[in-house]
Amino acid sequence: MKPEPRTLPPSPNWYCSRCSDAAPGGIFGFAARTSVFLVRVGPGAGASPGAPPFRVVGELVGHTERVSGFTFSHHPGQYNLCATSSDDGTVKVWDVETRTVVTEHTLHQHTISALHWSPTVKDLIVSGDEKGVVFCYWLNRNDSQHLFTEPRTIFCLTCSPHHENLVAIGYKDGIVVIIDISKKGEVIHRLRGHDDEIHSIAWCPLPGEDCLSINQEENLEPDIPNGKLIAETPITKGCYLATGSKDQTIRIWSCSRGRGVMVLKLPFLKRRSGGVDPTVKERLWLTLHWPKNQPTQLVSSCFGGELLLWDLTQSWRRKYTLFSTSAEGHNHSRIVFNLCSLKTEDGKQLLLSTSMDRDVKCWDMATLECCWTLPSLGGFAYSLAFSPVDVGSLAIGVGDGMIRVWNTLSIKNNYDVKNFWQGVKSKVTALCWHPNKEGCLAFGTDDGKVGLYDTCSNKPPQISSTYHKKTVYRLAWGPPVPPMSLGGEGDRPSLTLYSCGGEGVVLQHNPWKLSGEAFDINKLVRDTNSIRYKLPVHTEISWKGDGKVLALGNEDGSIEIFQVPNLRLLCTIQQHHKLVNAIVWHHEHGSRPELSCLLASGSNNAVIYVHNLKAVLESNPESPVTITEPYRTLSGHTAKITSLAWSPHHDGRLVSACYDGTAQVWDALREEPLFNFRGHRGRLLCVAWSPVDPECIYSGADDFCVYRWLTSMQDHSRPPQGKKCIELEKKRLSQFKPKLKKKKKPTLRLPVKQDSSVGNEDESVKENSGPAENGLSDQDGEEEAQEPELPPSPVVCGEPVSCTDISSGFEKSKVTVSSKATSLKKEPPKEKPEALLKKRKARSMLPLSTSLDHRSKEELHRDCLVLATATHAKELNEDVSADLEERFHLGLFTDRATLYRMMETEGKGHLESGHPELFHQLMLWKGDLKGVLQAAAERGELTDSLVAVAPVAGYSVWLWAVEAFAKQLCFQDQYVKAASYLLSIHKVYEAVELLKSNHLYREAIAVAKARLRPEDPVLKDLYLSWGSILERDGHYAIAAKCYLGATSAYDAAKVLARKGDAASLRTAAELAAIAGEHELAASLALRCAQELLLVKNWVGAQEALELHESLQGQRLVFCLLELLCRHLEEKQPLEVRGPSSIYHQWATGSEGTLVQRVTGVWRSAFSVDTPEQCRAALQKLQDVKYPSATSNTPFRQLLLHVCHDLTLAMLSQQAAAWEEVVPALLQAVVRSYTSGNFTLMQEIYSAFLPSGCDHLRDKLSDLSPAMTAFKSLEAFCVYGQLYEVWWSLCGPGSESSVWVLSAESTVSDKQSKPEDSAGAEGKEQPAGLGPRLSAESERLLSACKELFSEQHASLQTSQRTVAEVQETLAEMIRQHQKSQLCKATTNGPSRDEPSRDEPSQEAERAPSQPPSPKPGPFQMYWSAVSSCFTLGPSVLALWTLRHSNRPRSSFKSMGTLELTEDTARVDTRELPEAIKLCHTTHDSFTSVVAHQAFTLTFNGRML
């Protein structure tokens, strides 16, 4: 089995009573999220010499939710078995050697909170859940027992090591019970004493109560279990039990007496490690471990992560010893959750602990010192960055709010990791080391913070005063640009920090003064380049190694290249059509300096593009150019690309990280996938190539892991496709699905199981936020974990993602809906007769007065008397006044003051009965309109009618009432109505801003358009703001309308093109042409035509190109491409032809040769006839440069590039520019050759050079610069003709052709034909057997003699010698790098690797090496070729059929047959044997030798 990659695992789960355990065989396991990670501990771990003896060796994967319990079997013979429990409701039994599930059960109906494998019964596994249910499961007989002892939440349980039927259970309320499972869970003891949660239970390792000299405490009263006295029996006699609780006490219990015998109170220790914020309050977790064979010692955790060793020998003294008192940094800095012991192979007794500080520590029980620490991650690994100064220091940005710096070169510790948390307080999403300053690390966070850490000191970080509005996605160090670069040399830093945030802004920070303002570079870009359109939203930033060029990736998929110092736009790359996630420049220290101009990019689509910007950077164009063709295309991933990194050890080697869960290594120059890593169980977010090891790569993902893996150890070479991809997706989906917070609803009290989130975390690195990390989300996870009070379940390790709350759960929703539906069925609405459908009577304005008038006759008479007294009395006495006040309804018949009191009383009654509008009407009757409005405004009860009558009180009162009513409407979410009222008082800008701030852009634009001036900037701002939101949401067509409304046609065309389909591109091109954006229109029209090529819609492609006059040359290219495709299609059998294409009418004819048909169509359909027209089209096409082809170039792309070269050749020929015809033809042939498409190369010969190259020789002088290209073209042409000779030999022997004559017809010719040495060798065959060469073939072979001259042989030998020296020197450099790492080296060079002295000697011999002696290598090759002709058609047909039917892969498959570097030296010895072998076996090796001969010949000829 291959060694596992080095892993930085996820953090162990928190708040679980038993989530880690160790087996006697030296295997330690801990639960982390939905998995269990296995660590080999001890001498057998296979760790590097000098490093701590432990290694992460694997992972148990199978649960779909958080693992809440883990326990090993401690029975001899089954140390390889373990059990896990999970929040998904399952208990699984695993074999750790095979890492597979042995069996599982789903007996629990509620969340499992405790698990233990019985130490006395080898197949018994006991588990308990939060509802108090206990299940005993016997593995061997697949039997189970259900026990329900107490209706309480179980926190922990432990089986007795002395009695097979005893199980101790600890509950949330502090109760501890000991049950007998053989008696259906009968309670043996109920132990009361703790006041809070029971976190841990430990049995004394030795039976009996003689091991401890404990006197019974007087203040501890005996407890009578179940209210009855139980006599002592053998099963209850003689064992101690220790329990740890949240009440800060440890209690020792006597099982024989059923009572507590000792209480240990945790001490408050002043000492505390510095790895935690002292202001944060933590919850206590008290875990215990009773060491084996040490009954007088007990290990416990404490408040701040300290471990205590208690001495139990003297009950009256509370004596303890601290672990690791000598080394402060070796202690845990947060509370400890689990303790377990392990005995290694060499007899060491170790203790392993897991803590909230995310470290796993190993302690030596003999010395109480920390042996080693395994760090872990509590969040997504968002960013990886290697220090360019301190080589080997890897910075890791994690979603748990901490930065890790991993010293990957440490020999003494493979996991030498430092944590930095001060000042971070959020997810760390971006990291970047200073190029020159040691220990200077820039970081960016999820909340938009940018800071600088000095990792060499303990100082808190410097934080920039300028925050991004959204997540910081990328950081980069680069030269200062204005205004920061305007100062003198001593006034400004040599490098400044650039940050790119999620809002699309790139800020420049001054590292000398982070407290100062950071500058947005968009202003400089706009001013320098006079840009009038909307700048794109930036998503990525990358500086070239020399600091002279800046690349910016954008949300619309474009990449812009700027030149310092003023950020002048050099070019725009329009290749991606989705958000750009990664841009990286090739390094500058390789053997090929020109590769430093390679720029690799990845986006939300799955394709990686590599662009060669060498021509743009060297030409330094005055106006920006647009690049639409990539230099290389790397296809294979199936999801978005998140990170890219070039290898610092190789030329053109790239590694990519992808959401498909894999990391892929590419040979970018050859477009070949090399290695694929599939170790992660999540979506990859970052990747980094080791600066010291050419094979070592580090990758991080959303599975909370960072892996270190070697390229040579991978089984796969390309990303998964089809079923493999589906399996990988299932593997990723088996990750932890965080539970969502639930809101308690008092009306529903059904015991429903807590819901988990549905689906996956669709957490995009640059889109969404709030992943659940280590059971706690990054926003408030740490705070919630540290609160003193938590939800009742101990399952605190699951915290929600930031998404819509579905807290009621699915089952509750069903119950609620069904109850409503039932009530509707029981009481259907009754139809009322028409007579009853009358208008309801209006409510009385004075209901209290009216009701008082319907009292008894006596009361009414009394009212009359009181009223008469009040009316006729000159002065009212107290009795009358009291009667009038009591009988307020009489105010209707007395004076105004009494009437006002009556109205006031009636008004209060209306308010109490919920009719404020009637109260307001009474106040209006009273005449107090202003008071009515104020009262209504204070109560939020203004109405339309009140505001309508407000002008009665005056203009100022009306203005105030309208504004108050608008505010009230905003609180009621009636923004449109509020805006309408603001318009009524002529507050147009306020109304527009109100609508805009509430995303009612359509209404805001309508108001602004109707009420403001057309040139008002507010209107344009509305259009642009709405367009940006629509563009972000994918509504491109409406966004384009907005940009057009803002008179920004350029932006409208670009946003329409983002869809990427042919229809959108064509519309965008037409729009750009109408608006006068001719350059943009041309590029979009060309993209549209290329999209239509994919579906073979030739008519549509030509129509798209017609949109712009500058694409006339491209129309000619597409015309030739259409005719060539038609020509190739006609040659294919009907059964293998693809789907029908939409051809033009002029492409269906078949008269004449292909060249004649092309020129005829150009003349008739495109009016290209005169030399002047040809030269004009030629000039436009010469500006377009396509990259060279590789064996992985797609066939359609290859055809387009070849037709471009052929079009140049034909236009040059018609313009009589013969100096340009030959290079263009040669370029087309070379593209076909280098791509391995031999069939296409043959078609080019037959169509464009049917009679050879002689007619081109006549057009060129001997001193012509194109003569060298002509010789290479001639060599290729001869190659094709030789292929025709071979093919003719494969035909029936009786037929004659221009190349082959039958044996009977050539006897006399054979005798009369003079033969040279090479030709004679080639035509040697038994007389009278098979076909023989015709005169034309002999003439061809004679002409080839020049190609095999000694001059070419010597040149080829020198070329290969130089290549050998280069490769040898590269190997020496790699060996030197390895030696610098203190790695073990061999005693001498291996068989395949030359020694260090040999390369230099060989390099010295190479220039002076004389030409090979006669016969030369090429003559020997020709001898091999000639020998092929004597073998008859069988062998030749094999090679022909093998390579002619697979045009794309023919040369790729022959790549393994190419000659080695030693060919030039050994061919003279080996080829005769090879030819002899071919004669005796008739093997296809003959064709191989011939092919190599041709390959070397034409390579030499081209040189």
Residue 775's Cβ-count burial label (10 Å; 0-12, 13-18, 19+) is buried
Q: Please tell me the distance from the alpha carbon of residue 681 to that of residue 700, in angstroms, as a whole number.
A: 11
Calculate the CA 527 to chain-centre distance: 35
Q: Is 1369 exposed, middle or buried (0-12, 13-18, 19+ CB in 10 A)?
A: middle
The tally of CA atoms less than 13 A away on the side-chain side of residue 329 is 6
pLDDT at 589 over 70: yes
Contact 1153, 1210 (CB under 8 A): no
- Average pLDDT estimate for 1187-1207: 89
Instruction: Tell me the C-alpha distance between 788 and 284, whole Å.
Output: 8
Q: Report the pLDDT value the prediction gives residue 1405, as an integer from 0 to 100.
A: 37
Distance between CA atoms of 484 and 378, rounded to whole angstroms?
A: 38
Q: Choose the weakest-confidence range: 421-435, 886-900, 1422-1436.
A: 1422-1436
Q: Measuring CA to CA, how many Å separate 308 from each of 312, 503, 1362?
A: 12, 50, 69
Average pLDDT, integer, range 764-777: 40
Q: What is the mean pLDDT of residues 929-951?
A: 83
How far from chain centre, in Å, is Cα 773?
16
pLDDT over 80 (residue 32): yes
Note the pLDDT of residue 654. Answer: 96
Residue 314 has pLDDT above 70, yes or no: yes
> Would you state the pLDDT for residue 739?
52
Q: Per-residue pLDDT averaged across 307-327, rounded?
A: 82
Q: What is the mean pLDDT of residues 1469-1485?
A: 38
d(Cα 529, Cα 894) in Å, to the nearest integer?
Answer: 85
- pLDDT tens by residue, 448-495: 999 999 999 988 999 999 999 999 999 999 999 988 877 666 677 889
User: In this prediction, what percent of the chain has a pLDDT beyond 90?
Assistant: 43
Look at 952 and 980; give whichever has higher pLDDT.
980
Instruction: Tell me the DSSP string of 352-397.
Output: EEEETTSEEEEEETTTTEEEEEEE-BSS-EEEEEE-SSSTTEEEEE
Quickly count: other Cβ atoms within 10 Å of residue 839's Cβ. Answer: 5
Beta pairing partners, 81: 95
For residue 966, give the nearest of 989, 985, 951 by alpha carbon.
Answer: 985
For residues 650 and 633, give the distance between their C-alpha atoms in angstroms, rounded to a whole number. Answer: 19
- Cα 1174 to Cα 1112: distance, rounded to the nearest angstrom: 11
The pLDDT value recorded for residue 1038 is 93
CA 845 to chain CA centroid, Å, is 68
Q: Which residue has the tokens 């950077």?
A: 617
| Residue 152 CB coordination number (10 Å) | 17
Place of tokens 């990791």: 417
| Total Cβ atoms within 10 A of residue 1125 | 19
CA–CA dist 887, 902 (Å, integer): 9
CB 233 within 8 A of CB 263: no
User: In 3-state terms, what secondary structure has residue 259?
Assistant: strand
- pLDDT at position 794 is 39
Q: In terms of C-beta density within 10 A (0-12 exposed, 13-18 middle, 19 or more buried), how is residue 616 classed? A: buried
Q: What is the pLDDT of residues 577-588, one digit of tens each?
A: 899 999 999 999
Q: Is 1208 exposed, middle or buried (0-12, 13-18, 19+ CB in 10 A)?
A: buried
Torsion angle, CA of 1130/1135/1137/1143, rounded to 10 degrees? 60
Give phi and psi for 182, each to the nearest 5: -75, -15
> How far is CA 750 from its chain centroid?
40
Give the strand pairing for 359-364 and 369-375: antiparallel
Q: Picking from 22-26, 122-126, 256-260, 1427-1431, which range would have the lowest pLDDT averaged per residue? A: 1427-1431
Work out the percent of the chain whose per-residue pLDDT is above 70: 75
Starting at the earlier edge strand, list the strands of the sheet with 684-689: 6-8, 706-710, 696-701, 684-689
Q: What does the pLDDT read at residue 798? A: 38
For Cα atoms 1392, 1396, 1402, give the angle at the middle one, nearest 5 degrees: 85
Decide if 657 contacts 641 (C-beta within 8 A).
yes
Q: Does 1424 or 396 have the greater pLDDT score?
A: 396
Question: At residue 459, what is the residue type?
Answer: K
- The token pair at 1189 is 């082809």
At 432 the three-state DSSP class reads strand
Mean pLDDT of 689-717: 94
pLDDT of residue 1343: 57
Give the confidence band of 1437 by pLDDT, cuts at 50, 70, 90.
Answer: very low
- pLDDT grade for 374, boundaries at 50, 70 and 90: very high
Higher pLDDT among residues 1383 and 1035, named by residue = 1035
Both tokens assigned to 511 = 């590292």
- Are 374 and 54 a contacting pair, CB within 8 Å? yes
Contact of 1374 with 1438, CB cutoff 8 Å? no
Output the CA torsion 1231→1235→1237→1238 (10° steps). Answer: 70
pLDDT band at residue 817 using 50, 70 and 90 as cut-offs = very low
Considering the chain, what is the average pLDDT of its residues?
78
* pLDDT given at position 975: 93
Assess whether pLDDT exceeds 70 at residue 337.
Answer: yes
211, 295 contact by CB (below 8 A): yes
Lowest mean pLDDT among 110-119, 964-973, 1111-1120, 1407-1416: 1407-1416
**pLDDT tens track for 556-565:** 899 999 999 8
Q: What pLDDT, on a 0 to 100 scale, did the predictor assign at position 1063?
A: 92
* Average pLDDT of the residues in 212-220: 55
Q: Compare 654 and 861 and report the one with higher pLDDT.
A: 654
Model confidence at 797: pLDDT above 80: no
The whole-number pLDDT of residue 318 equals: 77
428 vs 786 pLDDT, higher one:
428
For 903-912, what is each residue's pLDDT tens digit? 778 778 877 7
Give tens-digit pLDDT for 1100-1156: 999 999 888 888 889 999 999 988 888 888 877 776 676 777 888 888 776 788 888
Indicate if the pLDDT at residue 1478 is higher than 80: no
Residue 363: pLDDT over 90: yes
pLDDT at 386 exceeding the cut of 70: yes
Q: Is the dihedral of CA 1293, 1297, 1299, 1302 positive or negative?
A: positive
Q: Which two tokens stand for residue 368?
A: 């109480």
**Closest listed residue to residue 560, CA positions, set 546, 547, 574:** 574
**Residue 652 in contact with residue 673, Cβ under 8 Å?**
no
CA proximity to 285, closest of 610, 595, 14 = 14
Give the pLDDT confidence of 914-924 residue by residue, as tens digits.
777 777 677 77
User: Which tokens hold the place of 528?
Assistant: 């320098």
Which carries the bigger pLDDT value, residue 652 or residue 1352? 652
Does 1285 have pLDDT greater than 90?
Answer: no
User: In 3-state terms, what secondary structure has residue 880?
Assistant: helix
Report residue 856 CA to chain centroid gap. Answer: 84
Alpha helices in 1186-1237 (DSSP H): 1195-1214, 1218-1234
The beta strand positions in 980-1071, using DSSP E, are none
> How does pLDDT run across 1307-1340, given as a tens digit for each residue?
444 344 334 433 333 344 444 445 556 666 666 6
